Structure 1
């Protein structure tokens, strides 16, 4: 076998993935009257949503760190009920799950109420304020267009009246951490505009058990020549936030009218805005922020270019090209979505949604990973408090951070988790009396204390949550081939998880280690009204994976043999999985519990995705077949949840089930999950703004085209011949390598591997195998006959 090739300089090791001449601009000829339809901008922290009719635009301004809190952020809110675990475990072992759940949750809620933390919902994100732009117009409005350039991160609107045209441009600067808005008059148009910062409408009713009318102790909006100001202080929390906007004009004049700026006869207006979260709302950062904003360029292009360079480089690292480039220019999002609704998936639908998924992930990964709505939202009462939901939602939202070569987004997640570890340790100690970590289902993203639970969902007994949410660390290290990351940041986490399981697992007379109590998200245990259970398949899979990953890292780093033997003992003696009477992998290992297939969660199939236990070369084929049957049962029952469709399709892709993958993609395309701004909803027909599906779709499309494990890369494992022809460039594969792939009618045309490390790797395609000794810095090419050639 001939090995290729050319050695590359380190700085050009991987392919440049920009498609020449490609336009990444989605557009609409209709204004976004509902905030959900807005094109969004974001730099991870700041963001905007461009909405409203021509002449009455409303730019909703958001910041990732703004939350209504049910109690003060400095409160330590963790109950101490570890002494109840033996009794709860006895009840669970007897199948008295409802009684076990109420015993523990009642006492925990009593303690938290006494601490001043009575609500199950601790935080809810909210918009900062609106920038209202009222522009004088004459005669009928014509030539309206709004657009989003995903490559530069810039949103625009354009409209004309009889005196000329008005164009608004908005981006959230990654270089300067500000929102930048330019309004320019074209075709002779002079701008007569009123500008003001006003509270986003709709603050009424309740959120997180709090009266929205009383969540602020003070709110103020004001103006002075060249500046708009906003300040808010919370009532239940010591914090608050500032908003400050520098306003400069070209031509014309500016005056203050009440709390607005009135601008007359200007040719251009530039607004540079920063939102500053405050730990103490009684303070202000106006003076230092004013100095920083004053120092920024008054030239829009000078502000845009450094941001566009940073954002665009991230966006272009991975490109899916399905030949729809010309259609971006000619087809509105309304027409694209109407075609998808009628026909199912089209090349333009998949290409735009893949690109939008990358755009949204880049734009909403800052201090935190994306919660349910990303950093955006125009509502004061979002569904499920718009939270960081740790039992599939966040997991799906970040699923493409590593395969998508977005190390910056990965770091948002890793930093978030690492800051929460002290709280997760306290959760484990106080609720379970264990070392290690206990992950809350929802929590304040600054604190991580477990206080969201109820009788039906007693999340303090969710041992598998921690391993699930640590697995992306391990996957990232393996995909990037980063031994230092694995040794310094991943291994210590898994060592703590091993300590947790040593404390929590119970060895019974059958010789196996059991997990009691536990939870199978979010499905009630048959015969009960609670998710509390014993020996959930999900919990067993996570425990087994933790010890398996430790063994792999132990071999990698020559860890102590005594520890290795101990981890192997635990891994090999966790209670075995069960195949039920239908031949399906059972969701609960005890034989008395029948499966409930009509449920959107598929977490008991964790060994297929995101885990890989059943996909290993030495895996039990009986279990693999059971997973296939279980998947078929869940698929048949369908789900309205968009993220449920993508989650199941991700599992189907790893089982080589092209038909189910394509069917769920069509379900996703045809049920009106996608708004005209290309963000997505949780339910069909645009119900509940939610980004899990759009963020995870890019991972699904990648997994359909390449499935990688350490030393083993499979090409086109689940891409149907009925799906569009195209190219995928720049995707990460295990071992620190990258891949460009091209296909026609579901068949390989070429695969280019950019080796990032020295290793022996087996490549598979349609039943064929080729083993290659990869050398870092070299390029390897397979042709359409799966033959290795030189470049």
Structure 2
């Protein structure tokens, strides 16, 4: 069953259920006397573009490098902070669109005076005695259903976010007569004021069925206008406006249609909202739902995942299933549900034409969210897309590439002004405008010029899966500009190697031989690992497109001169050019293992010595408290899966659910951060199939607990869709459908065939042909 449910309304945001269509998102609380629907629109950010680049950077760049090469860490970091940190430390950040409130007028219940979030006193009505309450998210249909009995009547609600019609639909129904009585209102509370002030310019009801809420974000001439509009329709009863509210009385059924827009996409957001509501509502609820289902299921049904477990646990509320797991119970069905939830979240937060999924996907209730709910690109946003291609969700990957174009434009100026270099560069954050200047004033993270380069690796990955030459031609200039920057930026160290710098190993601090603590350095390991893949991807694209490029020889020279991955004194993969110790041994970032995952420079077959060092790195981190954030734990699971350490992978998967997952299954950094959901889902798929070194690995990291199951719809880079079936830890069948002409190298470990040796098969495929391997 692909459903998660509660037997009570949400008491806070972390129990609410998410819906989204890529552009609009909502958290549905399912409350009885006063329902809350918290809204988001993906382009509603705090303001317009700010040019934050420090104009003094390039003048002091060489001096900072010299100080680092000389080991004068403190002086280098002081000068870098003065000359390289941005003029203004913060980019724009993502914000909530507001809330829809539905106040019900049923008799019964009690009233009490409480303080709201802004500290103001208000009267609230406690829920009446209810029965058979259920609040459910169906991942197969992307709908939320709320049902309950109250006062001798049965009530039902259904909520969904339509991508095709660009709105959220909330239907209410009374089974026994015309007993729907409620009023609808919109708010946008500025929680920062402490006085409950609304962060908007206009709030009004009109035409007895509409409410509009409008405002402006940021500077007058450099900001965003936004508009949120809802429409209420009923099949009977009465509807009227009073003040800024819409009041419904004595209705059997009612629909609330909600949409929002900003001037990021529309010159007149209010006009767009009004036309969208009129066009969509004229179709009627049933047609809207049918169209939504057809659109959504076209994505979700690309894959089918089934693990054999205790089916009776499907009858437990999701919070109780998690509690049971925390007490030592086992819930195999929850693993599959978690993987499917990850796919659901990606489809709901990243659709063609939308912005990419940010730190919270699309769901954020705050005006000043943690880390600005921006695009943090030293691991987090990349992790959001780890499952996209292998799960057949290539279209959901596209918003990331569209955003790269904006980064390329802004990053050219940053490259020129900060580093006197060609091409484009971005540091460890970006925002809605593609801002590429350094973010924050935090030495362990701020001066790291690799964020844009890492994102560019997704270009070649997407092409490998799709073979879309038009796409590759379109994005070749983006990756070329990233490569061009590093041709100019790299310098030779005393050993004659090409290294980055000043840079950092993301967010970590080292101790050198003299006891100095530092973050800024020359040639951290992760940088060279990313560049090795960036340069190779670029060369692959030249070959694929038959392009002659004047910088090719320089790229090959830089590639051959990059530092090799080195093993340190603890048997670990070295994190820095020197074999420094970490100040925090259990640090959440394990950046030096980029080459293991998502990179492909470390593998069991091709680099066994480095694979052992990677294991030592993980054990050392974990023994000292590593993996204490949700996204870090998800990355660790993928590391163990790549190393085919099934027991460790399973142990950490269990810990992700017990220690870093909220009651609504959203990832807990803490606070909520969605990358752990996406990374955790990707790791489950990596238990079942991996695709690297031009080989497809079948069940490479299958935990014993997932003894029987099947997966249908895993996509490969070679042009095949794979279905895998196994029973009692033994592989029984593989189905292969070709999507284009190609050749498959399939590796099957002896552990799942019960043979003495691994099986390797070579299969030629063509478009729409089928192959079945039975065991």
**Would you say same fold, with TM above 0.5?**
yes
Q: Is the 1:481–1:757 Cα contact (8 Å) retained in structure 2? A: no
Query: Aligned residue for 1:323?
Result: 308
What is the deviation of 1:458? Answer: 5.8
Deviation of the 1:642 alpha carbon = 1.1
Match for 1:184 among 147, 169, 173? 173
Structure 2 contact 166–276 (Cα < 8 Å) conserved: no
1:289 CA drift (Å): 3.2
The aligned counterpart of 2:11 is 33
- 1:132 counterpart = 2:101: yes
Does 1:286 pair with 2:270?
yes
| Structure 1 residue 285, shift from structure 2 partner | 3.6
How far is the alpha carbon of 1:454 from its aligned partner?
1.6
Partner of 2:117: none
Task: Give 1:214 deviation, angstroms.
Answer: 8.5
Over the residues paired in the alignment, what is the CA RMSD in angstroms? 2.5
* Alignment of structure 1 residues 400-419 onto 2, 5 Å: 400-419=387-406
Offset at 1:758? 2.5
The answer to which of 129-138 and 595-604 deviates more is: 595-604
CA deviation after TM superposition for structure 1 residue 52, in Å: 5.4
Q: How does 1:736-755 map to 2 (within 5 A)?
A: 736-755=719-738
| SS of equivalent to 2:159 | strand
Question: Do the aligned partners of residues 451 and 506 (structure 1) sit closer, same or farther apart at CA in structure 2, a change above 3 Å counting?
Answer: closer
Alignment-derived partner of residue 761 in structure 1: 744
Unaligned runs of 5+ in 1: 1-22, 113-117, 206-211, 785-791
Is the 8 Å Cα contact of residues 168 and 257 (structure 2) preserved in structure 1? yes
Q: 2:142 aligns with which of 126, 142, 153?
A: 153
Determine whether 1:775 maps to 2:766.
Answer: yes
Q: Which residue is equivalent to 2:299? A: 314
The aligned counterpart of 2:634 is: 646
User: How many Å separate the matches in 2 of 1:545 and 1:215?
Assistant: 48
Distance in 2 between the 1:549 and 1:298 partners?
47
- Contact 1:705-1:719 at 8 Å conserved across structures: yes
1:701 to 680, 684, 692: 684
Q: Residue 657 of structure 2 is aligned with which of 662, 669, 680?
A: 669
C-alpha contact 1:24 1:328 (8 A) present in aligned 2? no
Show the counterpart of 1:548: 536
Task: State whether residues 166 and 189 of structure 1, in contact with CA within 8 Å, keep that contact through their aligned partners in structure 2.
Answer: no
| CA deviation vs aligned residue, 1:660-692 (integer Å, no higher than 9, x gap) | 111101111222x33332222113xxxx11211
Residue 762 of structure 1 deviates from its aligned partner by: 1.6
Give CA-to-partner distance per residue, 1:343-367, whole Å, 9 cap, x none: 3652121111111111111101142
CA positional deviation for 1:567: 3.4
Distance 1:551 1:286, change over 3 A: closer
Per-residue CA distance 1:503-550 (angstroms, 9 max, x = gap): 111224533222222211110132555421111010111122222223
Q: Distance in 1 between matches of 2:556 and 2:769?
A: 37
1:144-202 Cα shifts (integer Å, max 9, x gaps)? 11111222211121222224122222111111101111111112351111111122473
Structure 1 residues 259 and 484: CA distance shift in structure 2, 3 A: closer
User: Aligned in 2, Cα 1:567/1:372: closer, same or farther, shift over 3 Å?
Assistant: same
Pick one of 692, 700, 706 that aligns with 1:723.
706
- Give the direction of change, closer, same or farther, for the CA distance of 1:170–1:324 in structure 2 (3 Å limit): farther
Report the equivalent of 2:364.
377
The residue matched to 1:722 in structure 2 has which SS? helix
Partner of 1:79: 54
1:107 aligns with 2:98: no
1:433 maps to 2:420: yes
User: Which residue does the alignment assign to 2:466?
Assistant: 480
Aligned residue for 2:427, secondary structure, equals: coil
The one of 250, 260, 283 equivalent to 1:265 is 250
Partner of 1:525: 510
User: Equivalences for 1:26-425 in 2 at 5 Å?
Assistant: 26-51=4-29, 53-69=31-47, 73-80=48-55, 81-108=57-84, 112=87, 118=88, 120-139=89-108, 140-200=129-189, 202-204=191-193, 216=199, 218-234=201-217, 236=219, 238-278=223-263, 284-296=268-280, 297=282, 299-323=284-308, 326-327=311-312, 330-343=315-328, 346-366=331-351, 367-425=354-412
Give the TM-score of the pair, scaled to structure 1: 0.88
- Separation (CA, whole Å) in 2 of partners of 1:320 and 1:47: 26
Q: Is the 8 A contact 2:745 2:763 kept in 1?
A: yes
**Following the alignment from structure 2 to structure 1, what is the Cα–Cα distance between the partners of residues 348 and 679?**
15
CA distance in 1: counterparts of 2:548 and 2:274, whole angstroms: 57
Q: Say if 2:721 and 2:739, in contact at 8 Å, map to a contact too.
A: yes
Change (3 A) 1:53 1:760: closer
The number of residue pairs the alignment matches comes to 737
